[in-house]
Structures are given as C-alpha cells and as structure tokens.
Structure 1
Amino acid sequence: MKPKLLTAAAIVFVLALIFILKNQLNSTPHVYKKSEILMDTLITLTVVTNSEKNADEAIEAAFNYLRGFERMLSFFNAGSEVSAINKNAGVGPVKVSSDTYELTKKAVENAKWTSGSFNPAIGPAMVLWDFKNKKRPTDSEIKKVLPLLDYTHIVFNDNDSSIMLKDKGMLLDLGGIAKGYAADKTAEILKRAGMQAGIASMAGDISAWGTRPDGSPWRVGIRAPRGAPDDLVGVLSLKDLAVSTAGDYERFFIEDGVRYHHILVPATGYPARDFQSVTIVNPKGVVTDALDTGLFAMDREKALRFVEKNNLMVHFIFADGSTFTSPNLKGLLENR
C-alpha cells in the first residue's frame, strides 16, 4: 500500500507551524555575555535580548566606548588626558573631553561629601607605594607629599571644559571612581541599543538593570577578604542597582605581620586600618565606587555615622572580622 501524500493544505499548515515556532524561539529572551581585559581588570558585559546578532553589536559598541575611555583616563598612559593634566600641574589648564571633565567633577563632589576621605588628588602618595615589589616609602617621603593632596586645588573652567591642578607636583588619580562611572555609562549604551536587561561587571564595580529572562534578579557575590578568590561571605540580589566593593586584599603585601594595602588615608598617606572590605549598593555606580573607597579610608565610627546620616546600603567587614549590614540592605543580602 502506497503512503499517502500530504495535501497542499497540509503542507501549508506544517510550514506555517514551523514559522510560528521559529518566531517564538527567536522572540524568547536569552542571556549573552562577553569579556575583555581593559582598565587593568577583566570586564564582563552580560545582556538579555532575543537576538544574538543584536547582543554582539551592542556589546561591541560598549567595549569600543570602554577602549576610548581607558585611553583618556588612564593614570599610567602617557598619552591620556589625565596624564596631560598631571604634566601641566602648576603650569596651566588642559582642555579635556566631556567624560574626563564630568568624571573629575563628580570625583571632587564625592571628595567634598566624604570630607576628603575619598580624594582624587591622592596620586602623589599612591606613587610612593610599590605593592608589586613590596616596598613602602619612608615617613619623610610621605610627609613631603601630603600638602599636594589638596583636592580643592583642582580647578575647573566650565566655559572651555578645562582642568588645572594648582600646584606643581599634584597628580590627579581617578582610579577610585572611574570603573563605577564606566559601568554606569556602559549600562546606558546597552540600554539604548535595546538590551532588555544586563549587567556591566568591572571587577569590584558592577551596574545591573532589569532581570534575568526568568524574572529573577541578578546575583552578585561579596568576596571573603581572607579566603580564596571564589570564597563568598554573601550574595546580593540586584535589580536596577549598582554595587562596589573595596578590599585590602586587592593590592597588598605583608611586612613584619602588618598588611600594607592600596587604600590610603589621604590625611596620613598610609593604608587604612579599620576595614577588610566595604561594599556599597546604590542606583549609581559612580557613587558606589567613590564611597567604597571613601568609607574604607574613614575610621570605623565615622563610617558608621556617615552611613546612618546618608541612609546608605552597606556591608562592612571590619579589621577584626566582625561585620555590619545596614538594615536597608538586609533584604537584598543572602549571607553565606
């Protein structure tokens, strides 16, 4: 017996069904991610969209922005705008791009907010410390540069977007705020490209928006300061929020039982002593990035008063290993 042939109507029905199923599959949101090393760290961009092609194009546009951002803002790149500002300290103003101008202004705003605990003029003290080769400066070397750490001597001219450091020897260092700012800007680029949700991760600085395809929030771990890199003390659930963590485990060396790390107290030029790590959650990454450093550089009691006064969402791990989680963060934090 011969098999029956499909009728024309049946063929049309099958083709229509295939077309519908294919469209449904294509319209289902998926998670796409890519990573690249920029700004001396691993940057991972994750997006939610129903098109791999759109995801690739959006992520590449974001990385292209970050490449340019790094060229402009790098403290160590002799051709950057920050280097031009530093070379002309005490000499004259330097016209800069909108990103450099805006970021430096925000840095000074956060310096004022924290009464100088966060300080974009910390450069002269930072260059004295050699964490790679485990060498620390002498007391006299540190005292000599302290007068150069005056962030109020960063001068702005809104008419031509120029910046000048008043005193010769001053050094602008935006490393304590640049990644949070970049995470915010990257998230904006991805949103404008039509990405439904996503997360811009720049080491300890992360900006997240929207939710995962199943509607769940993005989950971000807080590293255990005295554990392995993948050991966590807790996991945050984030939606339309940024988070930054500063820790004494990122760049450090130990000498005679004392841990010397890269988060300096601007008033002394020496590493801060009251914290192992500081985590801040806020809608803006530029705020979390500046404040995790600024609060770390405060003493314990001053930091707690600052948190209460400004109703901040924080998780502290103090030098003695004890912890503090602000009441407004507890609903977002799962302790490990």
Structure 2
Amino acid sequence: MTFCMLRPVRAALVSAFLALAVAALAGCSFEPEEKVWEISGPVFGTSYHINVVLTEDPERLETLAGGIEDVLEGVDASMSTWRDDSELSRFNQREDQSDWFPVSAGLFEVLQKAKEVSTLTEGAFDVTIGPVVNLWGFGPQARPEQTPSEEALAEVLSATGSDKLELKSEPPAVRAVPAQYVDLSAIAKGYGVDAVARFLERQGVQAYLVEIGGEVRVNGRKPDGSTWRLAIEQPVSEGRQVNRVVALESRSMATSGDYRNYYESEGRRYSHTIDPETGEPITHNLASVTVIADDCMTADALATGFNVMGYERANALAVRENIPAYFIVRTEEGFETHQTPAFSSYVTQ
C-alpha cells in the first residue's frame, strides 16, 4: 500500500485502467491548498488506485490508507471464491443449502443486486454460473487439459440458475435448492469500489476517484474545478490504447470485454465470459461494453450482462431502460463504436 501526491501535469487524462495523472491547482493562497493524493495497493488479484482531494495531512492519509485496506480485506473475506474460509465459500461448500444461511449485510446487498440484474438481462447475468466457469478453466481451479464435453456441460448447466437462489432480508440470509456454487467475480469488484467510496464519505472526503481493476467511481471535482476524466480502452490484447474519453461527476463506470482474460486451445480462442444460456464462452462480435451508473456494483454487473447479450440485444435493452452504454464492435474493417443516447452527454473526445 502506498500513497503520494500526484505531480501536476498539463491536460492530463484519467485512465480507468492505469495509474491516474491529475492536474493540480496553480497559484498561491494563504488558505491550505488542496491537492490530489493517490493511495494504491494490490487487491482481488489486481490493484487499486484511489485519488482523494485533501490538504496535506500525512496522519490523515495514513488513516485513510489503513481504513481502505480494512474495507477491501472485508470484501475479500466475504465474497472471494479463491479463499476457502470466505463467507461465500462457506455457503458454496454446503452440500445441502435448503436451510437459511445467515449472511452479512454486504453479501446480501450484492446477491440482491445480482438477482435484480439477472432479471433485467433475462438471465444473461447469472452468478450461479460458477460451476460452468470452473469447467472451462476460468475459476479458482486449474485450467482443464481439454475443453468440456457437451454431456458434461449439459449436466452442470441444468443445475444452475439465479432463480434457484432465494433471499430474505430479516435477518439477511440465503438458501438454494438444488445447491448452487455462487461466483460473484463479475459484481464484487464493483461492490468493493462502492464500499471504499462509502468509507471515504464517512471520513469526510468529498472529492475522490476510486478505481479497482478498471472499475471506477468518482465524486466531486478536482482542485481546479474540473470533472474527473476517464479513458475507455481500445479492446486489444497488445498494449494500451484510448478509444474514447468521458467526464464524470458523482457517477460510476465499468467495462466488460473478452480481450484480456482468455486462452487458446486447438486453434480456438475461449473467452472468460460464459453465456448462461448455452454454457459456452461468448462468440459474438461485441468486443467490449462500458456502462455508467450511480453505483459501481450496478455498472459492473450490467457491463457483464450486456457483454453476454451481444450488441443488438444489449443496445435495445439499454436504450429502453435509458442506461448510458458504449459498445465497441468488431467488424472485418476494424472496430465500430456505438453509444446509447443516455451515454452521449458524458463523452468529451
């Protein structure tokens, strides 16, 4: 975990996938000058970069850095499928899940949102698809030596479905019949961003940018009064290129694509994104989709659901629901971009 003051730069772009360079205020003042400070570290198999607008106060920065680390450790201890002792893993390990299993408020919130987005996307977002993800080698288990057979896929797929998860709020609990393996990797990172944002607000931080592995939430403005600017990445596996830049204030943004996490076997490319309807990696021409929402958990889940649906279905749903979404589609000539009317107001270049 580290923290530092970001050095002043000229016309800096804030990237949702890289460490973020921010323009600082110029001039003199007798009042304490606010600057942008970065707190960063590893988490969830990736990294976090958090920018806070504060006057110089090393003790406060130390307190914030320690608190952020505690918040993220709490999310990991609750929702990780890579930890056998996590709250979620303890539920997944139960052979009989027909009795109510008490869960924390945070885990309940994520499961509730997951079911909501599953309904909205007609099952394209499904947190019970974990066993199928594992079968293809994208879960905590080792990658298989060969792709799964049709029979194995059909057997595992028939037992999954978000509709098999039942929730109750008082007290928070979950149960499932038949037993399910729940994988929250497509929503928990967004929730982690939201959890850090809520912590910062409780600590009196009014302006911030929270980024975990490319999922972002911002609030307030930078010291010079400008909004936070975020780059949408070109969906290529080699290098980092900017496709579009957006300006956000008090909003969240998440991107889902098939260009980073995949493997190749016998000349075929297998995306880590699994279609819950077929049980197979997606094969359509939607390379990436970016979604803007009030909270990052929603943006994260919707981006994954839209990525599964493909451009035509996802765009129709986003337009109907007035969801800001940006699509990058592969064509024979290269990449083609599309945005919903609700997205247009955020684009700066």
TM-score normalized by structure 1? Answer: 0.87
For residue 271 of structure 1, report the CA deviation from its aligned partner: 1.3
**CA distance in structure 2 between the aligned counterparts of 1:150 and 1:59, rounded to whole angstroms:** 39
Matched, 1:48 2:53: yes
Distance 1:228 1:218, change over 3 A: farther
Matched, 1:155 2:166: yes
Structure-2 residue corresponding to 1:119: 126
How do 1:169-248 and structure 2 match up within 5 A?
A: 170-226=180-236, 228-248=238-258
Aligned residues: percent identity? 27
Specify which of 16, 29, 38 is matched with residue 33 of structure 1.
38
For residue 256 of structure 1, report the CA deviation from its aligned partner: 4.8
**CA distance in structure 1 between the aligned counterparts of 2:91 and 2:197, rounded to whole angstroms:** 28
State the one-letter code of the partner of 1:162: A
Structure-2 residue corresponding to 1:329: 343
Structure-2 residue corresponding to 1:4: none
For residue 31 of structure 1, report the CA deviation from its aligned partner: 0.5
State the one-letter code of the partner of 2:300: D
Specify which of 107, 112, 124 is matched with residue 105 of structure 1.
112
Structure-2 residue corresponding to 1:74: 80
Range that drifts further, 35-44 or 85-94: 85-94
Larger Rg: 1
Range that drifts further, 88-97 or 138-147: 88-97
SS of the aligned residue for 1:272 comes to coil
**CA distance in structure 1 between the aligned counterparts of 2:194 and 2:228, rounded to whole angstroms:** 16
Deviations 1:246-275 (A, max 9, x none): 110221023455321111110111112231
Range that drifts further, 24-33 or 71-80: 24-33
**CA distance in structure 2 between the aligned counterparts of 1:204 and 1:149, rounded to whole angstroms:** 29
Range that drifts further, 81-90 or 227-236: 227-236
Greater share of residues in helix: 1
**What is the root-mean-square deviation in Å for CA atoms of aligned residues?**
1.9
Question: Unaligned 5+ residue runs, structure 2?
Answer: 1-27
Distance 1:89 1:24, change over 3 A: farther
**CA distance in structure 2 between the aligned counterparts of 1:229 and 1:163, rounded to whole angstroms:** 42
Q: How many pairs are equivalent?
A: 312
**CA distance in structure 2 between the aligned counterparts of 1:101 and 1:328, rounded to whole angstroms:** 30
SS of the aligned residue for 2:135 comes to coil
SS of the aligned residue for 1:27 comes to coil
For residue 36 of structure 1, report the CA deviation from its aligned partner: 1.1
State the one-letter code of the partner of 1:40: G
For residue 70 of structure 1, report the CA deviation from its aligned partner: 0.5
Specify which of 252, 275, 284 is matched with residue 265 of structure 1.
275
Structure-2 residue corresponding to 1:288: 299
Deviations 1:220-260 (A, max 9, x none): 11111125342111122111110000110221023455321
Distance 1:256 1:225, change over 3 A: farther
Are the aligned partners of 2:216 and 2:252 in contact in 1 as well (CA < 8 Å)?
yes
For residue 138 of structure 1, report the CA deviation from its aligned partner: 2.1
Structure-2 residue corresponding to 1:128: 135
For residue 118 of structure 1, report the CA deviation from its aligned partner: 0.5
Are the aligned partners of 2:251 and 2:295 in contact in 1 as well (CA < 8 Å)?
yes
TM-score normalized by structure 2? Answer: 0.84
Are the aligned partners of 1:183 and 1:206 in contact in 2 as well (CA < 8 Å)?
yes
Are the aligned partners of 2:237 and 2:260 in contact in 1 as well (CA < 8 Å)?
no
Question: Unaligned 5+ residue runs, structure 1?
Answer: 1-22
Are the aligned partners of 2:136 and 2:143 in contact in 1 as well (CA < 8 Å)?
no
Distance 1:128 1:26, change over 3 A: farther
SS of the aligned residue for 2:325 comes to strand
